[in-house]
Amino acid sequence: MSKYRNLLIGTAIAAMAAMPAYAGKFGLGRPALPEEVAAWDLDVSPDGTGLPVGSGDALTGEEVFADNCAICHGDFAEGVDNWPKLAGGDGTLADKDPLKTVGSYWPYLSTTFDYVRRSMPFGAAQTMSDDDVYAIVAYILYSNDIVDEEFVLSNENFLDVKMPNADGFIVDDREESEKHFWTEPCMENCKEGEVKITMRAAVLDVTPEEEGAEEAKAEMAPAAEETPVVEEAKVEEPVAEEPAVAALDPELVKAGKKVFKKCKACHQVGEGAKNKTGPELNAVMGRTLGGIDGFKYSKTMKAMGEEGTVWNEETLAEFLTKPKKYVKKTKMSFAGLKKEKDILAVTEYLKSFSQ
Amino acid sequence: MTVRFKGKAPSRRAFLKGTLASTAGMVAGAGAASAATPDPLITQKQEWAMGLGDGVDATPYGLPIQYEGDVIRRNVEWLTADTISSINFSPIHALDGTITPQGCAFERHHSGAIDLKKEDYRLMINGMVDQELVFSYEDLERFPRVNKTFFLECAANTGMEWAGAQLNGAQFTHGMIHNMEYTGVSLRTLLEEAGVKPEGKWVYVEGADASSNGRSIPIEKALDDCIIAFKANGEALRKEHGYPARLVVPGWEGNMWVKWIRRIEITDQAIESREETSKYTDTLEDGTSRKWTWVMDAKSVVTSPSPQSPIKHGHGPLVITGLAWSGRGAITRVDVSKDGGRTWETARLANPGQPMALTRFYLDTQWAGEEMLLQSRAVDETGYVQPTKAMLRETRGENSIYHNNCIQTWWVKADGEAENVEVS
């Protein structure tokens, strides 16, 4: 501790005298405070180093998971669309198309805890309590049939859980197993007979079309389209009959476009928008809650729509402030927008897609 | 989030389209043509030769001229669930030389490209050191600086091609790569400032974004050639490449080059984070997986002609060009084959290979409209020879996803169009 105080003093002197302060050769930087290290040093190692005190059971985890994770990972951790599957795949690693999940592939449980606590949910990282993280991890184990539903995971029993693929890894051995790649390259008659084409990419047809290039060209052309969004709104004006559309504030629309980045992981809007993890948002203003046929809304959202609730400035603002408060059990895992100006902006932005 | 490496089902449409394209192509006569009529671009006074061009401040920060608008990064939508945790590809088919301009250097984010100001930037060194430290951005600029050029290749580059020829274009098959000149502080300098304790065997590095993208790096590598970089190609890093500071890990897989780097922890063990267990590990045929496969094997690709860069001129002189690189050191030689790997000729390196940086090669040749099965094969200073896809499959199977450094084949047809194919 005394050393530490000296260092602080040292830094202060250095700041005035512009000379090296302590241990290091250059005397740059300053000592990290214990609170600072504690705030950032969250990683958990396979031997349990870094695990916080806490616990959570699989049943609680199921609920927390449903609220925070299921929108992308599915109610049973089976994965939605292209989002990662967290359960299943046991015994498939040697198959042609292995299914790599926490249960079938991940060698250490610490990795799951570490990642969920540090980086999940997607778009609202570091918002869950440690106990909730324990509960979610317990649920993921349960959904992989590694523990039963009464299981309580805690820092005490964490190392007792044996991951099925714990022994499935070897350290990089390329320099041994691929020793034959260090060789004298052949220059003549390296293959016998005529070389034949065995597979063609054009047959598969998965290469993106060239539409992107045209758009970029338009963007690079000088003064091409400064405010495309507003133009679009203008086109819609005669049909829409809404004074609000004509009165769109282009600055606010622009700001809203930025805020919408937070929504883009799940929602599409604009030309060709489709339902993804969340419903598409074209003409959402004026739409009944849960109003898109075929999209799987929460029961609450559906019921509110059936009662006649419609998305407008007020309802949307209330929802976006605290989604789970306005529509209880909504499937939208987003935590909400804290700033009123962000809500106003994103609303304005959505209004610009009012066909 | 998940990068999917299987394509959609084959389509009849594409097959037909391919056939049409090949009949509609050009085949001009060989050699230098003589002009029958005077060229109006020469004989008539042109607008640009009479009027005036733009003034100096027309674009305070210059962009490529509009005619180059197709030289852009491109995304393959079906690969990932969304664009926030995703990847796009450098337009290597349209570039030459070795330096990748920042504006078209590929991006890979796990939680999106974050907006982090220099004033808000902090870099912490903690763990097994004599003194845990915090640096500001300004502090970083006061340490002695280094300037070095290195390639960064995503471990998943060419990953979609394990099971077969899939994406039609060098940009898509090999575009998860860029090569920049970095300016920054050697990681060794910073570690010495904190004083690594003898029991410190690893450094764990993490970024300031929500993914954190934590990776463990052996202390030997950290003390060898890693850099905390804040400039690339002479200017500040782009937001999408980790502004204001990122880690440079020469020759090793791109995922370890942590962007927005905020913390370096010295530990006695690998953390085994998500990015080094569930991802960036290579599953072999028998279901066991290799981990800690950090170094990028020697690799090369012909960038032109290629599917996005067909031969558009007539017969006669043809420049075949491409890129080669190795994570184990300098490229010493590149061979090119026109017949699918039966015979090879050695290409000309534009400059002597630099360790762990892209090397440009040229084969100045003649083309008389014959079909070619174009391949390139890199050799590095350790004597490693870039393998064929068959050789890789033989030792690794088809499920590795990462580290596919196989020899690539382009089928160049009589009309100059090219297609990604696999050969016997």
Q: Do B84 and A204 touch (CB under 8 A)?
A: no
Which residue in B71, B77, B82, B275 has the most chain A C-beta atoms within 10 A of its own C-beta, making it the best mutation to test that interface?
Answer: B82
Element (H, E) at B133: strand B133-136
Q: Domain total for chain B?
A: 2
Q: CA-to-CA distance for B112 and A83, rounded, in angstroms?
A: 16
Kindly state whether residue A93 falls inside one of the protein's structural domains. yes
Q: Cα-Cα-Cα-Cα dihedral of B347, B351, B352, B353, to 10°?
A: -80
Which residue in A4, A181, A211, A276 has the most chain B C-beta atoms within 10 A of its own C-beta, making it the best mutation to test that interface?
Answer: A181
Range of the domain at B402: 299-421
Kindly state whether residue B18 falls inside one of the protein's structural domains. no
Q: CA-to-CA distance for A190 and B342, rounded, in angstroms?
A: 5
3-class secondary structure, B247 = strand
For tokens 């909504």, the residue is: A330
Kindly state whether residue B140 falls inside one of the protein's structural domains. yes
CATH number at residue A247: 1.10.760.10
The packing angle between helices A250-259 and A228-240, to 10°, is 110
Query: Are B307 and B405 part of one and the same domain?
Result: yes
* Tokens read off for A17: 């005298």
Strand B261-267 relative to strand B122-127, pairing: parallel
Q: Domain total for chain A?
A: 3
At a CB cut-off of 8 Å and minimum separation 6, what does A78 contact?
A85, A86, A87, A88
Contact status of A126 with chain B (Cβ, < 8 Å): yes
> Residue A15 above 70 pLDDT?
no
What single-letter amino acid sits at B20?
L
End-of-domain residue from the set B241, B270, B290: B290
End-of-domain residue from the set B266, B290, B314: B290
Q: Do B134 and A36 touch (CB under 8 A)?
A: yes
For tokens 């962007």, the residue is: B259
Residues of B with Cβ-Cβ distance to A195 under 8 angstroms: 339-342, 373, 423-424
The residues in A 156-175 lying below 8 A from B, measured between CB atoms, are 168-174
Query: Are B201 and B348 part of one and the same domain?
Result: no
Contact status of A334 with chain B (Cβ, < 8 Å): no
Could you tell me which residue, A6 or A226, shows the higher pLDDT? Answer: A6
A267, closest residue in chain B (CA to CA): B82
Q: Which pLDDT score is estimated for A246?
A: 55
The span from the first CA to the last CA of chain B, in angstroms, equals: 35
Q: Do B74 and A212 touch (CB under 8 A)?
A: yes
Which residue in B104, B121, B132, B413 has the most chain A C-beta atoms within 10 A of its own C-beta, making it the best mutation to test that interface?
Answer: B132
Q: Do B344 and A186 touch (CB under 8 A)?
A: yes
Question: How far is the alpha carbon of B48 from chain A, nearest alpha carbon, in Å?
Answer: 17
At a CB cut-off of 8 Å and minimum separation 6, what does A214 contact?
none
> Residue A189 above 60 pLDDT?
yes
Q: Do A264 and B82 touch (CB under 8 A)?
A: yes
Query: Are B221 and B251 part of one and the same domain?
Result: yes
Backbone angles phi, psi at B366, to 5 degrees: -115, 145
The per-residue pLDDT for range A128-184, each reduced to its tens digit, is 999 999 999 999 999 999 999 899 999 999 999 999 999 999 999 999 999 999 999
Instruction: Decide: B171 and B93 in contact? Cβ < 8 Å.
Output: yes
Kindly state whether residue B244 falls inside one of the protein's structural domains. yes
At a CB cut-off of 8 Å and minimum separation 6, what does A73 contact?
A65, A79, A80, A83, A84, A85, A86
Query: Are B278 and B407 part of one and the same domain?
Result: no
* Tokens read off for A340: 């009123």
* Tokens read off for B364: 């100045």
Query: Are A318 and A266 part of one and the same domain?
Result: yes
The model's confidence at residue A17, banded by pLDDT at 50, 70 and 90, is: very low
CB atoms within 10 A of CB A197: 16
Residues of A with Cβ-Cβ distance to B382 under 8 angstroms: 182
Q: CA-to-CA distance for B412 and B409, rounded, in angstroms?
A: 9
Query: Are B382 and B245 part of one and the same domain?
Result: no
Write a three-state SS string for chain A: CHHHHHHHHHHHHHHHHCCCCCCCCCCCCEECCHHHHHHHCCCCCCCCCCCCCCEEEHHHHHHHHHHHCHHHHCCCCCCCCCCCCCCCCCCCCCCCCCCCCCCCCCCCHHHHHHHHHHHCCCCCCCCCCHHHHHHHHHHHHHHCCCCCCCCEEECCCHHHCCCCCCCCEEECCHHHHCHHHECCCCCCCCCCCCCCEEEEHHHHCCCCCCHHHHHHHHHHCCCCCCCHHHHHHHHHHHHHCCHHHHCCCHHHHHHHHHHHHHCCCCCCCCCCCCCCCCCCCCCCCCCECCCCCCCCCCHHHHHHHHCCCECCHHHHHHHHHCHHHHCCCCCCCCCCCCCHHHHHHHHHHHHCCCC
CATH number at residue B322: 2.60.40.650
Of the CA atoms within 13 Å of residue B404, those in its CB half-sphere come to: 28
Query: Are A67 and A25 part of one and the same domain?
Result: no
> Residue A242 above 50 pLDDT?
no
End-of-domain residue from the set A160, A180, A207: A160
Q: Which pLDDT score is estimated for A211?
A: 53
Query: Are B342 and B306 part of one and the same domain?
Result: yes
Q: How far is CA A87 from the centre of its chain?
A: 18
What number is the average pLDDT over the span A203-223? 59
Kindly state whether residue B96 falls inside one of the protein's structural domains. no
Q: Which pLDDT score is estimated for A214?
A: 47
Q: Do A82 and B133 touch (CB under 8 A)?
A: no
Query: Are A26 and A70 part of one and the same domain?
Result: no
Element (H, E) at B49: helix B47-50
Query: Are B126 and B272 part of one and the same domain?
Result: yes
Q: Could you say which DSSP state residue B238 is in?
A: P
Query: Are B215 and B304 part of one and the same domain?
Result: no
Query: Are A34 and A79 part of one and the same domain?
Result: no
User: Measured between alpha carbons, how far is residue A330 from residues A68, A124, A136, B134 in Å?
Assistant: 10, 16, 19, 42
Residues of B with Cβ-Cβ distance to A51 under 8 angstroms: none
Q: CA-to-CA distance for A90 and A83, rounded, in angstroms?
A: 19
Residues of B with Cβ-Cβ distance to A105 under 8 angstroms: 278, 289
Q: Do B379 and A28 touch (CB under 8 A)?
A: no
The packing angle between helices A340-351 and A250-259, to 10°, is 110
- What pTM did the predictor assign? 0.80
* Of the listed ranges A84-98, A231-245, B122-136, B142-156, the one predicted with least confidence: A231-245
Q: How many residues are listed for chain A in this entry?
A: 355
3-class secondary structure, B302 = strand
Q: CA-to-CA distance for A242 and A343, rounded, in angstroms?
A: 20
Which residue in A35, A204, A225, A280 has the most chain B C-beta atoms within 10 A of its own C-beta, making it the best mutation to test that interface?
Answer: A204
End-of-domain residue from the set A160, A178, A203: A160
End-of-domain residue from the set B262, B290, B318: B290
Query: Are B127 and B187 part of one and the same domain?
Result: yes
Query: Are B191 and B117 part of one and the same domain?
Result: yes
3-class secondary structure, B171 = helix
Query: Are B415 and B266 part of one and the same domain?
Result: no
Q: CA-to-CA distance for B351 and A92, rounded, in angstroms?
A: 47
* Of the listed ranges A312-316, A322-326, B369-373, the one predicted with least confidence: A322-326
Contact status of A205 with chain B (Cβ, < 8 Å): yes
Kindly state whether residue A323 falls inside one of the protein's structural domains. yes
Kindly state whether residue B13 falls inside one of the protein's structural domains. no
For tokens 């090879």, the residue is: B344
Q: Cα-Cα-Cα-Cα dihedral of A288, A292, A295, A298, to 10°?
A: 0
Pick B124's closest partner by Cβ from A32, A191, A207.
Answer: A32
Kindly state whether residue B209 falls inside one of the protein's structural domains. yes
- The angle formed by the CA atoms of residues A45, A51 and A53, to the nearest 5 degrees, is 170
Range of the domain at A237: 227-351
Kindly state whether residue A340 falls inside one of the protein's structural domains. yes
Query: Are A233 and A307 part of one and the same domain?
Result: yes
Instruction: Decide: B165 and B210 in contact? Cβ < 8 Å.
Output: no
Query: Are A16 and A62 part of one and the same domain?
Result: no
CB atoms within 10 A of CB A53: 9
Q: Which pLDDT score is estimated for B32?
A: 57
Taking only the tens of pLDDT, chain B with its 424 residues reads 444 444 444 443 333 343 333 433 444 444 456 889 999 999 999 999 999 999 999 999 999 999 999 999 999 988 888 888 899 999 999 999 999 999 999 999 999 999 999 999 999 999 999 999 999 999 999 999 999 999 999 999 999 999 899 999 999 999 999 999 999 999 999 999 999 999 999 999 999 999 999 999 999 999 999 999 999 999 999 999 999 999 999 999 999 999 999 999 999 999 999 999 999 999 999 999 999 999 999 999 999 999 999 999 999 999 999 999 999 999 999 999 999 999 999 999 999 999 999 999 999 999 999 999 999 999 999 999 999 999 999 999 999 999 999 999 999 999 999 999 999 9
Query: Are B214 and B310 part of one and the same domain?
Result: no
Q: CA-to-CA distance for B217 and B188, rounded, in angstroms?
A: 13
Question: How far is the alpha carbon of B253 from chain A, nearest alpha carbon, in Å?
Answer: 13
Kindly state whether residue B85 falls inside one of the protein's structural domains. no
User: Is the sign of the CA dihedral A124, A129, A133, A138 positive or negative?
Assistant: negative
CATH number at residue B208: 3.90.420.10
Q: CA-to-CA distance for A86 and A103, rounded, in angstroms?
A: 7
Pick B204's closest partner by Cβ from A30, A43, A174.
Answer: A43
Kindly state whether residue B7 falls inside one of the protein's structural domains. no
